[in-house]
Amino acid sequence: MERISHEIDHRILGDDIQCVEITLDPQETVIAEAGSLMMMDDGIAMQTIFGDGRGQTQSFLDKMLSAGKRVLTGESLFMTTYTNQASVRRTVWFAAPFPGKILPLDLRNYGQRLILQKDSFLCAAKGVSIGIEFNKKIGTGLFGGEGFIMQRLDGDGMVYVNAGGMLVQRDLAAGETLRIDTGCLVGMTVGVEYDIQFVGGIKNTLFGGEGLFFATLRGPGHVWIQSLPFSRLADNIVAAAPKAGGRGREEGSILGGLGRLLDGDN
């Protein structure tokens, strides 16, 4: 069956810090999150738009509604489109905002719908709708790490997803359950149930270092899991950074040198 979304060609470049190369035929368009552009050929026109990227068939009210939904997921009101206005094929490149993998997915292979955590989406073919998915369980919303609201991608086009660190994929059978750290979920197909589970045990809770809750994923369906969530990377960077106004951890003193030696910094 012919696609409704634009048919775009791609190539993933790099190993641990990747970018995606999107090649567009004349008048083809790719939509992306603001700030993800790396570079583009001459002849590609960039335009900032309201809404979820489905195009100009939406009314102004629909565009305002879809833009408001994006704000609920913590994203910008706007998205950016890149259209090839040249008479020959042109290329645009997008880069992931943190080290990891870029995953190309064809929505036609997943029932034309995927559920993602809100930081995972990078770019997609024009015609894909980027909306929101509410988690109806209040416990998951309060303690699940991803909140009530996740991103929902609908359509029949190609989408490109960020995953921090290494990427692991699992097919879950009906009733099969997988427990993961709440930040490690990248995305899942519609049939997967997402909930949270208390770690349990006083020592685990106080000293385990893994938080109070697991995310539980119950099949049937496909899930994508990342080894290094951006939130974990940011927390480690902040913890290792020198304190404001100082050099950090008694730098320059005998104590500071001994501390760095014991920590393996020297």
Q: What is the pLDDT of residue 238?
A: 77
Q: What is the pLDDT of residue 214?
A: 79
Cis amide linkage into residue 242, ω under 30° from 0: no
Q: What is the pLDDT of residue 222?
A: 97
* Contact between residue 127 and residue 55 where contact means Cβ atoms under 8 Å apart: yes
- The arithmetic mean of pLDDT across residues 6-18, rounded, is 91
pLDDT at residue 252 tops 70: no
Per-residue confidence band for 1, with pLDDT thresholds at 50, 70 and 90: low
Per mean pLDDT, which of 23-37, 49-63, 248-262 is the most reliable? 23-37
Could you tell me the residue ranges of all domains in the chain? 9-239
Q: Count CA atoms closer than 13 A to 38's CA, side-chain side.
A: 16
Could you tell me which residues come within 8 angstroms of residue 74 by beta carbon, excluding any fewer than 6 positions away? 118
pLDDT at residue 42 tops 90: yes
The string of pLDDT tens digits covering residues 77-88 is: 578 999 999 999
Q: What is the pLDDT of residue 90?
A: 97
Q: What is the pLDDT of residue 191?
A: 92
The string of pLDDT tens digits covering residues 84-134 is: 999 999 999 999 888 889 999 999 999 999 999 878 899 999 999 888 877
- The arithmetic mean of pLDDT across residues 16-37, rounded, is 92
pLDDT at residue 8 tops 70: yes
Q: So what's the architecture of 9-239 in CATH? A: 4-Layer Sandwich (3.60)
Whole-structure pTM value: 0.77
Q: What is the pLDDT of residue 264?
A: 52
Per-residue confidence band for 33, with pLDDT thresholds at 50, 70 and 90: confident
pLDDT at residue 14 tops 80: yes
What radius of gyration, in Å, describes the C-alpha atoms of the chain?
21
220 vs 147, more confident: 220
What are the DSSP calls for the chain, one per residue? ---SS---EEEEE-SSS-EEEEEE-TT-EEEE-TT-EEEE-TTEEEEEEETTS--TTS-HHHHHHHHHHHHHTT--SEEEEEEE-SSS-EEEEEE-SSSEEEEEEEGGGGTTEEEE-TT-EEEEETT-EEEEEE---HHHHHHSSS-SEEEEEESSSEEEEEEESSEEEEEEPTT-EEEEETT-EEEEETT-EEEEEE--SHHHHHHSSS-SEEEEEESSEEEEEESS-HHHHHHHHHHHSPPTTS-STTTTSHHHHHHHHHHT--
- The arithmetic mean of pLDDT across residues 177-182, rounded, is 89
pLDDT at residue 165 tops 80: yes
The string of pLDDT tens digits covering residues 224-247 is: 999 987 767 666 777 777 765 555
pLDDT at residue 207 tops 70: no
Average pLDDT, the chain: 78
Q: Residues of the chain with pLDDT > 70: what percent?
A: 67
pLDDT at residue 59 tops 70: no
pLDDT at residue 262 tops 60: no
